[in-house]
Structure formats: structure tokens, C-alpha cells
Amino acid sequence: MFLKRNFLSLALAAGVLGLASCNKGGDFSKTTSGIEYKVFKSNGKSYDAREVGAEGDATYKDRIGKIMALHVEYRTGKDSVLFNSRKQQMGFPVRVPLDSVRKQQRGGLEEAISLLQPGDSAVFRFNVDTIFAKSFRQPVPPFMQKAGKTMTMYVKVDKVQTRDEAMADVQKMQVEQQQKMKEHADQQLKSDDVKLQDYIKKNNLTAQKDPSGVYYVVTTPGTGPKPKAGQIVAVKYTGKLLENGKVFDTSEKAPNNGKPIEFPIGVGQVIPGWDKAIPMLNKGSKAVLLIPSSLAYGQRGAGADIPADAILRFDVELVDVKNAPPQPQMSQEDMQRQLEAMQQQQQQQQGQ
């Protein structure tokens, strides 16, 4: 859980404010491929149901090759929010390319999106096994299996654009988003620090603070070396939400079953708080790591277990520190081929 999760698929495939009321009235319709849906068109004051043909939206052909911007929210079968673009993307929409390959994904997310027109709102309900097989091409994660057999997606379409229009919007959005994210992270770090100091005081902890904002408490000092960037560390851990003490992950349970996990430290393979705090520990140390949200999963959170802006506590043991295995040296022939490929690429770029 502490590892960086790739939620790109969930984000693209991941309520939308005002849509929850749409889910209350009427039964779901169903496509011939099995997607359950309710599609609504705003009349300016409320939402009216919009009929969709059994074989899909006949106007979709006019949108092929364009980009749809939409706000989207995913919920598990137990109604836990997995992703909300308005909250977790600073109010900016998700963008989805519309193309003709949707027919190869009947019953998947691509077909669901193809039913929508600009200005539509919709609720889609999918079978979890089916949607992960068709759209994610991977087994259903355990936390999703425990949350029920369905996954619901709420959607509000913002607009449909040409690729050039979408690219210009994205470039503008990235600048605005980076600024908003920095402002939010700076503000959140101050707020988190107040909560962390209060937690440390209430629990009578003797904590040290890293310049980044991570607090760490060495409960059992180790006698071995401290890890350096690039070295492989083996760590046992239990992760909890600081707010309520709920355990969201531990190496004591499957798949680790009590064995430490191994990873290179200081190279971005784990959350920033771990990269900052683990090098402060000697081999053999046991410690408590108190990590502000901006150095954990930030405003996005992580699935249903770690909400946005969550401060995390990890109880860790640094079991081992060792050098990374040597990388195989590249042969002279491989180096020459790589150099020729780079030169060819540069020539092609210059000729464009």
C-alpha cells in the first residue's frame, strides 16, 4: 500500500456533484453488451432521462477522433468513493479520446463513454469481473472483490473538442493545476504539521523532524549502517491512518505473510515520506514514521482505504540494508546500435 499505485486506469475509467439524485429514480436500462445505464440531459432546472438506442448512440460517428472532457466518479459496490475528478484533479476534467476501437471493447468503459453526448450526465453500473477483464485487462484487486460485485461510475460530460483544442486546453490546465497543487500542498503541509504535533504531544512521543516535514520516532535503535540512495532495503511495516488508527496495509498479512518487502531507497519507488525517513534509521532499527499527506498520497488518496489528504503512521523495522546487484555491462555492439538509433532519431527530428 505504501508503494506508488497506478490509478491512471481508474482515473480514466474513475460524485460528480449533483448526479447522486439522478440515481434515485427509475430502473437502469441495459445495452445488448450488458452495460447498465441511466443517461440524463439537463433542461436547465433539473435532469430529464434521455433515451439511448439499443445499439448505442447513432451520433457517435460524428465524434470519432475527438476528445471528450468529462467529470467522473467511481464507487465500489459498498458505495466507497474510489476516485472523484472534481476533488482529486483540482476541479479539472478527465479527457478521453473517442475512437472507433470501442466496438472491440463491447461491455467496457469505452462503449459506456460512447453513449454520451455533450452536456449529458449519466450513471453506469458494471459487473466488477467483467469491467476489469475488458477495460483494465487485469484481475480484480482484492479490495474491490471485498467491496461487492458491482462498480458504479457517475459522469458529467463537459465538452467534446478536436485534438488541437484539447491540447491547448490541457497545456493551460497543466499550468493552472501545478499552481493549485503547490498552493494546496503548502497549505496542507502546515495544517498536517499542527495535527502531527498535537498527536505527538498526546501520545508522549519523542519525535525528530526531517526538513521535509516527516516525523520519526526510533523505538528500538539499530546498530547497523544507515541506507544510502540506491541501496536495497528490507522493511517490515504496518500502515495506519493517523486520524482513526485504521490499518490499511501490513507486511504481516498476505502476500508478504510476515516477510519484509525489499526496494531501492531514495529513487522514487515508494512514497516520498519513506524515501525521506528510512535513510534516517540504522539497520535493525524499529521506528514510527509520521508522514504528512503531501509526502504520502496527497490530494488523490489511494483507493477506498486511504482518503485524500490523509496523514499516515507507519510502524516499521529496517531488517536489512544491502547494495544493489551490479547491472550487466552493455556490449560494444549494443552501445554502437544505441548510438546509431539516437543519431537517427535526432536526424528525423531535425527533418521535421
pLDDT one-digit tens code per residue, 229-251: 999 999 999 999 999 999 999 99
Cell numbers describing residue 87:
476533488
Distance CA 106, CA 127 (A): 13
**Residues 279 and 229 sit within 8 Å (Cβ to Cβ):** yes
pLDDT of residue 350: 43
Cα–Cα distance, 181 to 328 (Å, whole number): 40
- In this prediction, residue 37 has a pLDDT band, given cuts at 50, 70 and 90, of very high
Average confidence (pLDDT) over 334-351: 60
| 285 and 235 Cβ atoms separated by less than 8 Å | no
Same domain, 201 and 286: yes
pTM: 0.53
Of 161, 184, 219, the residue that ends a domain is: 161
What is the predicted pLDDT for the residue at 345?
Answer: 59
Query: What is the domain extent for residue 200?
Result: 192-322
- Which residues lie below 8 Å from residue 146, measured CB to CB, with a gap of 6+? none
Q: How far lies 34's CA from each of 8, 53, 76, 209, 293, in Å? A: 24, 14, 18, 54, 39
Let me know whether 208 and 286 are in one domain.
yes
Residue 261 domain-assigned (yes or no): yes
Confidence (pLDDT) at 217: 96
Q: Which residues contact 167 (CB under 8 A, 6 or more apart)?
A: none
Structural domain includes residue 334: no
Provide the domain count of the chain. 2
- pLDDT grade for 300, boundaries at 50, 70 and 90: confident
Measured from the Cβ of residue 244, the count of other Cβ atoms closer than 10 Å reads 6
Inform me whether the pLDDT recorded for 14 exceeds 70: no
Residues 205 and 146 in one domain: no
Do 211 and 157 share a structural domain? no
In a domain, 290, yes or no: yes
Report percent pLDDT > 90 for the chain. Answer: 44
Could you tell me which of 288, 251, 289, 285 has the C-alpha nearest to residue 273? 289
- Residue 20: CB atoms within 10 A of its CB come to 13
CA distance 240 to 231: 26
pLDDT at 19: 43
3 in a structural domain: no
Weakest mean pLDDT among 113-117, 122-126, 139-143, 227-231: 139-143
Residues 202 and 153 grouped into a single domain: no
Mean pLDDT of 322-328: 79
Q: Which three cell numbers stand for residue 148?
A: 461487492
Burial of residue 320 (number of CB atoms within 10 Å: 0-12, 13-18, 19+): middle
Q: Lowest mean pLDDT of 48-52, 90-94, 201-205, 273-277, name the range.
A: 90-94
Would 166 be classed as within a structural domain? no
- Cα of 303 vs its chain's centroid, Å: 7
| Count of positions (residues) in the chain | 352
Give whichever of 101-115, 170-184, 302-316, 335-349 has the largest mean pLDDT.
302-316
Q: What angle do CA 248, 133, 8 make, to 5 degrees?
A: 55
Query: What's the pLDDT at 263?
Result: 93
Judge if 199 and 142 occupy the same domain.
no
Please tell me whether residues 33 and 153 are part of one structural domain.
yes
Q: Say whether both 98 and 229 belong to one domain.
A: no
Averaged pLDDT, 167-178? 85
Shared domain for 271 and 139, answered yes or no, is no
- Name the pLDDT band for 23 (thresholds 50, 70, 90): very low
228 occurs within a structural domain:
yes
Cα 332 → chain centroid: 41
pLDDT for 342 equals 64
In a domain, 186, yes or no: no
Q: What is the mean pLDDT of the chain?
A: 83
- pLDDT given at position 92: 81
pLDDT at 24: 45
Per-residue cell: 24: 434515485
pLDDT of residue 11: 38
CATH value at residue 40: 3.10.50.40
Residues 22 and 146 in one domain: yes
Last residue of one domain, picked from the residues 161, 184, 205: 161
Closest CA to 14 of 66, 71, 98, 69: 71
For residue 339, the model assigns a pLDDT of: 67
Is residue 236 situated within a structural domain? yes
Dihedral of alpha carbons 197, 203, 206, 210, sign: negative
151 in the same domain as 19: yes
Quote the cell numbers at residue 199: 498527536
Nearest to 23 by CA among 111, 212, 150, 128: 150
Tell which wins on pLDDT, 347 or 132. Answer: 132
